[in-house]
């Protein structure tokens, strides 16, 4: 890595091109591998050969956020001031307070930004606006906060447009591709719990009339495995794909409706169970699983607010616990007594 000298300390210069390591890291984090430690050191970075007239952009120290910004600054001479957001992206960090006014003021002072640039403007991402008070930054640092576009892809046009955002730049999208990108994280994030649950229920299924018979378990378990796997995939993969098309407000309720459809499909193909008791038990378990995993998407979408998420959890989490408990109890009754 090269550095720019002549300032207080050497400032690292970063490329706008992704390396193989960057690509592999992005793929891994999309699959929830080392997601909580995918960060860079907070501080000041350079793109190209910036000087006192160059723009200064603010980013989170979540590496995916930083990489996306630097990639879209290709061909510019710019500064990037990275805040310490504990490895969390801009939007979530702004909600948590780590991408906030105090942290921005601290970094402006720590890295002597007033000595780095000759102007008094600093560009903050639009999704971080909720955490940054422009007038407070102005009063304590004399820097004018410019709230940029939603997407880094519009950053050059924003600057060329005299730091004004168009309606398109302020529009938050949640397209099919953007929703699908969330699925791997949820799929892998819950996987260890799903594997544990499958292993535990398989062992329990080997007890028929209180007699342990592993062959009996192998012969029987394909039905619960199909049910549990269908619920898990519906909640983590199918739900984000179908999210806008399920016509109710609460994500938990959307998940419940989706689980009903899944249960009806399994019933149609004779895979919902062998008795009424077993069918009902799978329905309760599957409904709880799909509803709960669907509810997890409330913090990753543009459809919800913090107060709305809290309200939904207060209503639906007890419902999910009751459904899951009833389903497990009925399934155990079927296993041990039928």
Predicted local confidence at residue 3, as pLDDT: 81
Is residue 309, in this structure, part of any structural domain at all? yes
The overall average pLDDT reported for the chain is 91
User: 103 and 42 in one domain?
Assistant: yes
Is residue 9, in this structure, part of any structural domain at all? yes
Has residue 268 got a pLDDT over 90?
yes
Predicted local confidence at residue 304, as pLDDT: 59
CA separation, residue 252 to residues 58, 92, 95, 184 (Å): 35, 21, 22, 19
Has residue 338 got a pLDDT over 90?
no
**Among 40-54, 87-101, 122-136, which is the least confidently predicted range?**
87-101
Distance CA(84)–CA(290), nearest Å, equals 35
Is residue 169, in this structure, part of any structural domain at all? no
Range of the domain at 210: 176-337
User: 247 and 138 in one domain?
Assistant: no
User: 70 and 104 in one domain?
Assistant: yes
Residues 138-197: tens digit of each pLDDT: 999 999 999 999 999 999 999 999 999 998 998 877 788 888 888 898 899 889 999 999
118: enclosing H helix or E strand: none
**What is the DSSP-derived secondary structure letter of residue 80?**
E
Q: Which two tokens stand for residue 209?
A: 């009339």
CA separation, residue 247 to residues 179, 213, 317 (Å): 17, 46, 20
Is residue 326, in this structure, part of any structural domain at all? yes
Q: Which two tokens stand for residue 241?
A: 């794909």
User: 153 and 184 in one domain?
Assistant: no
- The CATH number for 103's domain is 3.40.50.11600
Has residue 29 got a pLDDT over 70?
yes
- Burial call 46-72: b when 16+ CB within 10 Å, e when fewer: bbbebeeebbbbbbbbbbbbbbbbbeb
Is residue 198, in this structure, part of any structural domain at all? yes
Q: Are 257 and 246 in contact (CB under 8 A)?
A: yes
Q: Are 187 and 314 in contact (CB under 8 A)?
A: no
Report, as an integer, the average pLDDT of 31-55. Answer: 92
User: 145 and 218 in one domain?
Assistant: no
Predicted local confidence at residue 322, as pLDDT: 97
User: 13 and 105 in one domain?
Assistant: yes
Is residue 108, in this structure, part of any structural domain at all? yes
Has residue 85 got a pLDDT over 90?
yes
Predicted local confidence at residue 38, as pLDDT: 92
**Domain count within the chain:** 2
Pick from 134, 160, 186: which residue ends a domain?
Answer: 160
User: 231 and 139 in one domain?
Assistant: no
User: 324 and 188 in one domain?
Assistant: yes
Predicted local confidence at residue 54, as pLDDT: 96
Between 185 and 264, where is the model more confident? 264
**What is the DSSP-derived secondary structure letter of residue 6?**
S
Distance CA(77)–CA(47), nearest Å, equals 5
Supply the angle between the helices 20-30 and 63-71 in degrees, to the nearest 10.
Answer: 130
Between 310 and 323, where is the model more confident? 323
Q: Are 13 and 4 in contact (CB under 8 A)?
A: yes
Q: Which two tokens stand for residue 267?
A: 């019933």
Has residue 8 got a pLDDT over 90?
no
User: 47 and 127 in one domain?
Assistant: yes
Q: Which pTM value belongs to this model?
A: 0.81
């Amino acid at each position: 890595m090269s550095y720019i000298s002549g300032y207080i300390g050497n400032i690292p210069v970063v490329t706008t091109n992704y390396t193989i390591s960057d690509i592999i890291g992005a793929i891994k984090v999309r699959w929830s591998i080392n997601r909580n430690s995918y960060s860079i050191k907070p501080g000041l970075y350079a793109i190209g050969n910036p000087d006192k007239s160059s723009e200064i952009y603010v980013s989170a120290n979540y590496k995916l956020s930083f990489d996306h910004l630097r990639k879209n600054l290709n061909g510019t001479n710019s500064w990037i001031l990275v805040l310490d957001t504990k490895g969390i992206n801009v939007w979530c960090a702004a909600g948590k307070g780590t991408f906030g006014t105090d942290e921005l003021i601290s970094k402006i002072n720590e890295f002597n930004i007033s000595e780095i640039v000759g102007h008094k403007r600093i560009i903050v991402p639009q999704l971080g606006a909720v955490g940054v008070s422009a007038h407070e930054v102005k009063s304590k640092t004399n820097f004018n906060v410019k709230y940029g576009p939603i997407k880094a892809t519009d950053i050059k046009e924003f600057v060329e447009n005299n730091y004004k955002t168009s309606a398109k730049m302020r529009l938050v999208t949640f397209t099919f591709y953007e929703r699908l990108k969330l699925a791997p994280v949820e799929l892998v994030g819950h996987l260890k719990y799903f594997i544990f649950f499958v292993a535990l229920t398989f062992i329990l299924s080997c007890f028929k009339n209180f007699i342990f018979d592993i062959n009996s378990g192998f012969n029987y378990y394909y039905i619960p495995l199909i049910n549990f796997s269908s619920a898990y995939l519906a909640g983590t993969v199918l739900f984000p794909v179908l999210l806008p098309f399920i016509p109710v407000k609460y994500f938990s309720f959307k998940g419940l409706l989706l689980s009903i459809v899944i249960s009806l499909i399994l019933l149609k193909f004779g895979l919902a169970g062998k008795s009424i008791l077993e069918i009902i038990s799978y329905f309760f378990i599957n409904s709880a699983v799909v509803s709960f995993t669907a509810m997890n998407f409330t913090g990753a979408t543009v459809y919800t607010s913090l107060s709305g998420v809290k309200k939904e959890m207060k209503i639906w989490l007890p419902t999910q616990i009751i459904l899951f408990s009833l389903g497990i109890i009925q399934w155990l009754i079927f296993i041990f007594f039928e």
